[in-house]
Amino acid sequence: MNRRLLLISVASLLVLVSCQDDKESASHTHDSHGGHAHAEQGPHRQPQTARHTGVIEEVLQATSYTYLRIKEGSEAFWIAIPKSEMKVGQTVSFAGGLEMKDFPSKDLERTFETISFVSSVSTSGSIQDLPFGSAPTPHGRPKVEAVDVSIEPAGGGISLETLFTNLQAYAGRSVTIRGQVTKVNRAIMNKNWIHLQDGSKSASGPYDLTLTTSDQATVGETVTFTGKIALNKDFGYGYAYDVIMEESIRVE
């Protein structure tokens, strides 16, 4: 009898654990509004496939894009579309898009904490024919001005002049670069994009190296990173590089 009671207790416990697991799984796959939540891949989301309808609260016109602040229910957010004539108070619908974090607009001289680039919006109230996941190309990688520094290579490292003068020799190899941080774009495509300069440059002119990393750095710091050199990389959305250092690790 005691053995039967023990077996019944164990079976009941397994059923309770299974039910709890189902509840927890459901809570992670639905958002607070009862719909399916979008999985986040780090601070930067991949192209989205959600459909939205909201009212324009603010319109900002730039050279190539129109920036719209949209109110959808209790939420407000920014989107960017190819330059268009839009008005406050219009109801618009859109589908898909590419979400960017800490996106700087040079035209507007402001940084958007979060903004989604979408290919088009509908003002007819119908979004059935709008494509999923498409997005215009954002402004892409910024140009960084040369800074007046003179930084010696790290022990076992190389200068930017050496790198830029011998790109083919270093392609696919790990190198160590010491330099001053001149610009940081955080959490784009799940990476931090850091620009380094050491005061040297090749005869052809390059003086600034971009690297991708999960480590942190701030503008003005002198830092040392080790990473793999890649040539002719195009990440899409305007991020194309003749040379870039990837999978970089801060060592100093």
Instruction: Tell me the pLDDT tens digit for each residue of 5-59.
Output: 444 444 443 333 344 333 333 333 333 223 223 333 333 444 445 788 999 999 9
What pLDDT sits at residue 234? 79
Q: 30 lies in a domain?
A: no
- Tens of pLDDT, residues 71-81: 999 999 999 98
Domains of the chain: total: 2
Query: Residue 151 gets which letter from DSSP?
Result: -
What pLDDT sits at residue 31? 31
Residue 53: CATH number of its domain: 2.40.50
Instruction: Please enumerate in sequence order all residues whose Cβ is within 8 A of that of 227, keeping only pairs 6 or more positions apart, or say none.
Output: 174, 175, 177, 211, 212, 213, 245, 246, 247, 248, 249
Q: 76 lies in a domain?
A: yes
Q: 16 lies in a domain?
A: no
Q: 137 lies in a domain?
A: no
Q: 33 lies in a domain?
A: no
Count of beta carbons in the 10 Å neighbourhood of residue 66: 18
The CA-to-CA distance between both ends of the chain, in Å, stands at: 68
Residue 167: CATH number of its domain: 2.40.50.140
**Tokens, residue 95:** 């589908």
Q: Are residues 108 and 170 in the same domain?
A: no
Query: Residue 152 gets which letter from DSSP?
Result: P
Domain final residue, candidates 117, 132, 152 = 117
Q: Are residues 168 and 237 in the same domain?
A: yes
Range of the domain at 108: 48-117
Q: 110 lies in a domain?
A: yes
- Tens of pLDDT, residues 122-181: 887 554 444 433 455 555 555 678 899 999 999 999 999 999 999 999 999 999 999 999
Q: 241 lies in a domain?
A: yes
Q: 1 lies in a domain?
A: no
